[in-house]
Amino acid sequence: METVYINSPLGITKIIGDQDGISVISVSDVGTNEVSMIIPAVLKEAVLQLQEYFEGKRTDFDLKLNPKGTEFQQKVWKSLLDIPYGKTVSYMDQTKKLGDVKAIRAVASANGKNPLWIVVPCHRVIGKNGSLTGYAGGLSRKKWLLEHENPSTQQSLF
Catalytic residues: 122
* Integer angstrom CA distances of residue 80 from 43, 97, 124: 22, 10, 8
- Angle between helix 104-112 and 91-98 (nearest 10): 110
The dihedral of CA 75, 76, 82, 85: what is its sign?
negative
Interstrand relation of 11-18 and 21-28 (parallel, antiparallel or unpaired): antiparallel
Say if strands 2-8 and 11-18 run parallel, antiparallel, or are unpaired.
antiparallel
Report d(CA 155, CA 63) in Å as an integer.
34
CA atoms 143, 74, 76, 84: torsion sign: positive
